[in-house]
Structure 1
Amino acid sequence: MEENIVYKFVILLCLVDQIIGQPVIADQPIVGNVKEATFTQEAIADIKCTDPGGGKVAVSIETVTSTPTAGHCQRCFQAFNFATGLPEQWKIYFIPGNIRLSYLSASRYDVMIACRDGNGGTSNTVIGINVIPNAPPYFDPVYINKDILNSGTKTAGESIGFFTALDPDGDSLSYTMTTSITTDIFQINAATGEVTLRKALGALCRSNLVLYIEARDNFNAQVAKLSANLHFKSMNYPGIITNLNRVFTVEENLGLASITIERTDAQEVAFTCDLTVQPPSMTSKINYDNTGPKILLSSLNYEVDKNANITVQCTDGLCNAVPKWLYLQILDVNDNPRLDPPTQTISTPEGYISVLPNYILTDEDGSDPPVYYFANAVPAGFFIDKVTGRIRTNIDYRVDTNNQVDLTLTIAANDTKGPQPTNPVTVLLSIYDVNDNRPIIAKTSYEYLLEDCTTPRVLDTLVATDADGGVNGEVEFETKISGSLSVTSTGQISLTSAPAAGMFETVEVYAFDKGLNPGVLKSAAPAVITLIGIPCATTPYTGATTELTTESTTMSTEPPEPTLPPNQRRNNPEDLIWISIACVLGLAIVALFIFIIYRCNVAARNKRREMSKKDGPPRKSSKAYVNPDHIKTRSASVVGAPPVNNKQEQKDYFKNDIKDNYKETYKAKTLTSAV
């Protein structure tokens, strides 16, 4: 009994020691808060865990439970002790990672921690962490009106004002801005929302403008929006030109003239104008003078100058006035005609000539056109257009080998309102050769049958001609190197190496001229150079003999008949053409020979028949007994019966002649019956 009591007492002492020796977590329950838009490491709650025995403790997170979505951001929380001087003060930290806090996904986290001492004692507790939702920024109010004073004098860099959004969480905001019209005058500070000027506000040239400003934090998708309607006071506006958009008439040869530009402008700012003149040829006659301001006109000539349309664009440096136009009309005044320049040179290619000299006709009678004519003798085929003065030919005027022909033409024009013609002018017409003739190769086919022991040599030289003159007529050949053949630019055909026996090689070479206008021309057909290699001629082998004999070998001076490879003899297109032509000619000759024999035979038979009719009674037949009745009957039947066809067969000619002769003979005789 006593032993049991002692045993129970020992156990009780052990339990008391364990209870008294476990770490102690103070200030429970522990609750922490973390903002939804937290992106940096942040301490959330303090953990005060002590060891009654004075030892060190360690705190760790056991589990993390999130609601309403389980398992959200499990690794977002950690327990650390950064205060090394206070080892019992641990903290729960939020650690940012790939997953952001979201109030909608997990508004609360229950984090179970364990505090352990060095003896293995452990205490657990649950820390509640609440997620505080992040509110988006906003403007209040969302639409404002703002007056901008002295707008016309504000310069670049000046502030229009701050347009700041509110954010309950104090998040950093970024600002963007657009405008109701396209302009680069305004800019906004992305961090502060201040709107400033990039350039002078007076260049806006309008009374109002709307700024559309947006503010956003770095967490919420919702954007704060503000519409700021700016009203510009004392603004700069464009001036208005009042005396243009009209027709202005001026007489020719009047001298200098001017047109004042009048305008109204509330600001009375100094301005300048730019003139755009159409046609551009009148630009030198029309100028702008800023003193006034006014448009200056030089002395104008009705026959030379043209009516012009002037566009006037004025500006004060900031605002452009509405463009205006002025149509300048030149009035004609009668004047003695004159033709200029006195001498001019024109170059034109050969062919059908059509050139228009640069006439300058000074004649105030614009409605009385001149009549142009040649004042000197001109070559045949040349004529001049009476209305325009264009020089033409009705023939194809060729220069070719002459390279260039220079003609001197004297031209004048009559004024139909006066008897006196204009002063004659000289046109030096230079007609140059055009490279319009292709080179022609004199011989386009070269064939060489060479032994395979032939040494390199010059075989021939190509020759080509060109009907053009000068550089256009200079000819050269394309350089070719192919197999055993080579052709130089001068046309020299050379054998560069011995041809192989049985080789069949073809090279095509074109001729080119050196024409510059319009360019180089190539011959229409090439020179075709054909090289056929044959075996070298050798002494035939006589066989082995029992005696040594020395015989002189005489080499044939003529090469043996070449034996072409079977595929070349069979597939040569030229051989097939010649064989076909020979067959056709042979058939034609045979047919002609048969026809001649036939015609000679017919003529001989006809001649014989005519001679038989002229010689009188025929000679007696060698037959002794002939029945005349039978002959008479047959002759009568032959005479009385119509022929089956008008054209008798050739084999019956002599039979019918015999019948007719017998018929005539036995009409005059009475023959006794042979029976």
Structure 2
Amino acid sequence: MARQVLLVIWFLSLGSALGQVSYSIPEEMAKGSLVGNIAQDLGLDLKRLKSGKARIYTGDSTEYIELNKDRGVLLIKERIDREALCGQTTPCALHLQIILENPMDFYSITIEITDMNDNAPSFEKGRISFRISESAILGSKFMLYPAIDPDVGINGLQTYTLNPTDNFNLKFRNKPGDGQNVEMVLQRPLDREKQQNIILVLKAFDGGDPQLSGSIEIHITVLDVNDNAPVFTKSVYKATVTENAPKDTIVSTVSATDADEGINGKIEYSIASMQDNARHIFDINKENGQVSVVGKIDFEKARNYEIRVQASDHGGLTDSCKIIVDVLDINDNKPVIDIVSKTNVIAENSPSDTVVIMINVQDPDSGENGKVQCSINENIPFSLKSVKTNFFSLVTDSDLDREKESNYNISVTCTDEGVPSLSSSIILCLQISDVNDNAPVFEKSSYETSVQENNTPGLSIFTVSASDADFNQNARVSYILEDSSVNGVPVSSLVSVSADSGVIHAVRSFDYEQIKYFHVRVKAQDGGSPPLSSNVSVKIIIQDHNDNAPQVLYPVHASFGRCGLSGH
């Protein structure tokens, strides 16, 4: 079938483009039917739909539409019955959202469901019966049970016919806001002696193509002598009732009079017709005309009701009136908080206005009772922003530091403006992930140690230690001996340092007589990417050991023979 596409896109500032697309489709489309090319209409790349984990959010468990990410199209997931979905409400539309992540994007989709003529008019009862006096005056009106057609517009109920028309003709009014009024009007006198029982056929037609119809028989018993019909004091009664009103609450009292005396003047009241959603909510006392509550009234399901009441005397004459009941809302619904999209972990270097969580809040009450304000706990680096009606996003609003706070329990409270107000809360748990923003730090700015000469190679001389405030790999410290030389000799030929423990070992045996002290620099480097580091100076003093005998350097001793002079 032909489909109409209405495309409207706008942008809101929150780091995400928020668009809206509208489609119009007929009801009863087969599963798998195409609704619209959402990727094309929103200007989205198919790769974006997949990488963003595109999904449909409807806010409730009813899902008639599915998203095919491979083709970028919306398809019929379940057959849609417009009458079951919306009843008589027009226009009938599905409201859904497409959510994407990384980055988070939000698109609103409206799909209008148009009516098909898939219901014929039907009557609630099998037949209509009247007892009418033969003395009934011309022009007397008899209200008929209207037919019901759940279709809307031209496919809904349009007209009636009545056959035969020897004694009666048909009067039908169908005004917007006034409902339907079907009456049978006496146009020729009745004569019980000629015809005591009359059978008429009332037929109802809709305006669809092809046209559908339904019929009901009207059985009339002609009675003797009752020449005054009941007359209501008003044609329309108006009343109000508070939702959740207790049973037996009096909503309205109707009253009719009959000029006849005796049994012909005694009036009984009955409910002739009402909307389907009111049939188990109201009843009438047939003796005094009091209309009372017998079921549960819920403003969120129906805000008003129309009740047709009939007054009948015992001679078979009737009159009718209408009661319009407006329901007053009370604040009986808490706001409902639904998490649309959530990030459980966020990096500590995330910029301000990073979207962490998106929630949807609904309150089915009306007016001030349905207006909702949401807030979060104080003294945390987050804020709650309204991005669209009933949608809020939790964003960062200041710097995060995992080393100061590694996780947050964020309480979101939504309160309506009713009196007294009602509220709901949820706790959102958010973990802060580490980035390598801290260099290792030594315990001291410099170190000094000593070792006795003539040590054995491999001797542990000293241990340096540095700590890193980061987490896991970013906090894993390795120690490195920086290149330098001592008296022209590489320092690495004198000492080494353990990368894991920071222990400084002697590479060879030291000789105090050759070197009395020397300095080395040790670097501590973490395992981040890129790594961060710091260094420290270690002074190593060689302690003397008595390992050399004295030597006479002066005076120099000459070598002589035996005492005396040698002869010539």
TM range, smaller chain: under 0.3
Richer in helix (by share): 1
Q: Which has the higher contact order (CA 8 A, sep 6+)?
A: 2
Q: TM-score, normalised by structure 2?
A: 0.27
